[in-house]
Structure 1
Amino acid sequence: MSAYEKEVRTYEALCRGEDAIPIRADDRLVCNFFVPHPFFRYMPIKQEILFADPKLVMWYDVLTDEEVSEIQQLSKPRLRRATVKNPVTGVLEFADYRISKSSWLPTKLSPLTMRINERIEKMTGLSIRTAEDLQVVNYGLGGHYAPHFDFGRKREKDAFEIEYGNRIATLIYYMSEVQSGGLTVFTRIGAKVKPIKNSAAFWWNLHPSGEGDLRTRHAACPVLAGAKWVMNKWFHERDQEFRRPCELERGTVEPDDIF
């Protein structure tokens, strides 16, 4: 069985809710109140650490129903079929392995988008100056995104812009409950994230050394019933030098990988 076939089997099993990769008990997997900035002193974030290494966290009640409704209204007229970057040509194109509609919301589009971006900066401790605009994604029935990395690979054409660097981290807001399906799954570590309305998942795509973390390969499972709304925020390396300083690590050089 090829590595690709093994990953497909793991992906499908995780999407069914199975523990395809055993996860050991870890006392670092805790729930707590998180105060990343004085702004949250009197209303700390409810945090759950889903996976310790690589660190994958879930933050609960970081949006309101009213904010979600307004975001959806802002995005609906802008929704278009989602595209992916061809790793050989660098051209954006449609692909059967990503079925969804997406729209981009500029930071200064409305008071709400400005407020959310300010909150994101306080929650993550990362600069949004080099981050991408908010991307709203709607997955209808059967909508999915097969296993992929959020960061650019070295051998890919135009993987990332020198001015902004690679995608250092990902924040995903979940803006709806899904009747069936729609999990976010990590095919190399076996982690599963269930969409819970008004929550957000956060993880680092790169090691502190700047090398891509292959363990962050993830997928959006097919929606079997209902619809799934998410909002992505991708952060880039530049302007994060003093927020997440680079450091030397062993074993972080990106090996050859068929994916």
Structure 2
Amino acid sequence: MKAKSGKSNWSLRSKLGLPALIFVLCLFCFLAGFFGSSLLSQDVDDDRPRSRLLQSASDGTEFDLMSSGENGDASISSIPFQVLSWRPRALYFPKFATAEQCQSIVNMAKPKLRPSTLALRKGETAENTKGIRTSSGVFFSASEDESGILGVIEEKIARATMIPRTHGEAYNILRYEIGQKYNSHYDAFKPSEYGPQKSQRVASFLLYLTDVEEGGETMFPFENGSNMDGTYNYQACVGLKVKPRQGDGLLFYSVFPNGTIDPTSLHGSCPVIKGQKWVATKWIRDQTQDDYS
């Protein structure tokens, strides 16, 4: 039996050739594995529960949504952003508002502009701090805007920061003309310099309302630890610079997650060289604001 079987196998190999025989065997194994895995996969899929899907209106992507809480959303929100820096934490939001929204805010603020002021530290006066901030501005809350635009932007800022609207101060809408600027400073308050605070500014959101032909950048001179050797004069326009573009937003955090002030969050507004700079600033605090409406 063994001799006969060996002779038969030798005869088959002689007719097909060894390479052809190997090919046939490999093809058979592949087909067997393919159909076997397909059947197994089908069995698994049949037992899997069907997901509840929502199709995004923007790009056709399908999302498997979770059930939202009572004050949550039943849909996906998409707000594009770019991380500009981790030291400080700074994010850029392109086309955060429309040109029409921006122009409406400018028109609203223009008749009420007054010279910008500073929060003074112990020992400072309006006279000895003259020239640090040379813009004009006005404070506007969303409740004062009959058009509702400030409220819409405020809600979008809350979603971008994940900090409720009630933690925001009124908008500070600013205009910088040629030569006007704001020397480098912190938005957060050190109690040792400004006295006890009811709450702390943790983040700032800047909405650029106009393009600026030249100058007017928002700058972070200490970005990634640069210029921190004690020689920086708080006036030089150096470091990370963000060029104002109408409708774009800039978010940066003034404190670390543990609540201490981030030294790299020092920032300023470079002098405008050509054109005008309009910006709406929303300062966001770690506590609900008593005067929020």
Q: State the TM-score, normalized to the length of structure 2.
A: 0.64
Number of the residue aligned with 1:188: 222
Are 2:205 and 2:250, in contact at CA under 8 Å, matched by a contact in 1? yes
Residue pair 1:151, 1:167 contacting (<8 A) in 2 also: yes
Among candidates 70, 76, 79, match of residue 104 of structure 2: 70
Deviation at 1:54, TM superposition (A): 2.6
| 65-74 or 108-117, larger mean C-alpha shift | 108-117
Q: CA deviation at 1:113?
A: 1.9
Q: CA–CA distance in 1 between the matches of 2:74 and 2:204?
A: 22
The CA distance in 2 between the partners of 1:119 and 1:76, in whole Å, is 24
How far off its partner does 1:184 sit? 0.8
Say whether 1:53 aligns with 2:102.
no
Q: Are the aligned partners of 1:102 and 1:137 in contact in 2 as well (CA < 8 Å)? A: yes
CA distance in 2, matches of 1:64, 1:141: 25
Q: 1:238 to 1:180 in 2, by over 3 A?
A: same
Q: How many corresponding residue pairs? A: 201
* 1:208 counterpart residue number: 257
Q: What is the CA–CA distance in structure 2 between the aligned matches of 1:77 and 1:40, rounded to whole Å?
A: 39
Shift of 1:159: 5.9
Could you say what secondary structure the match of 1:83 adopts?
Answer: coil
Return the match for 2:130 from 81, 89, 95: 95
Q: CA deviation at 1:238?
A: 1.4
Structure whose CA Rg is larger: 2
For the pair 1:220 / 2:220, whether they are aligned, the reply is no
In structure 2, the CA distance between the partners of 1:134 and 1:121, relative to structure 1 (3 Å rule), is same
1:141·1:225 contact (CA, 8 Å) conserved in 2? yes
**Runs of 5+ unmatched residues, structure 1:** 1-32, 241-259
Distance in 1, Cα, partners of 2:185 & 2:134: 13
Structure in which a larger fraction of residues adopt strand: 1
Deviation, 1:114, is 1.9
Task: Name the structure 2 match of 1:172.
Answer: 206
Report if the CA contact (8 A) 2:87-2:265 is conserved: no
1:145 aligns with 2:170: no
Q: CA separation of 1:153/1:238 partners in 2, compared to 1, >3 Å: closer, same or farther? A: same
Give per-residue Cα distances to partners, 1:124-181, cap 9 Å, x unaligned: 2112213210111000011100010011013223363x2xx11000100111111111
Cross-structure match for 1:232: 281
After superposition, the CA RMSD in angstroms is 2.3
Distance (Å, rounded) in 2 between the aligned partners of 1:197 and 1:40? 28
Q: Secondary structure at the match of 1:96?
A: coil
Cα 1:40/1:96, change in 2 over 3 Å: farther
Q: Percent identity?
A: 26
Q: For the structure 1 residues 226 and 236, does the alpha-carbon distance in structure 2 shift closer, same or farther, using more than 3 Å as the test?
A: same
Sort the Cα spacing of 1:38 and 1:61 in 2 relative to 1 into closer, same or farther, 3 A.
Answer: farther
How many Å separate the matches in 2 of 1:191 and 1:40?
Answer: 36
Counterpart contact for 2:208–2:248, Cα < 8 Å: yes
Change (3 A) 1:50 1:157: closer
TM-score, length-scaled by structure 1: 0.72
* C-alpha separation in 1, matches of 2:130 and 2:183: 10
CA distance in 1, matches of 2:284, 2:75: 21
5+ long unaligned stretches in structure 2 = 1-58, 60-71, 224-238
* Structure with more helix by fraction: 2
Amino acid aligned to 1:198: G
In structure 2, how many angstroms separate the alpha carbons of the residues matched to 1:159 and 1:219? 24
Report Cα offsets for 1:62-108 as digits up to 9, x if no partner.
11111111101111121100000220158777721111001111120
**Corresponding residue SS for 1:235:** strand
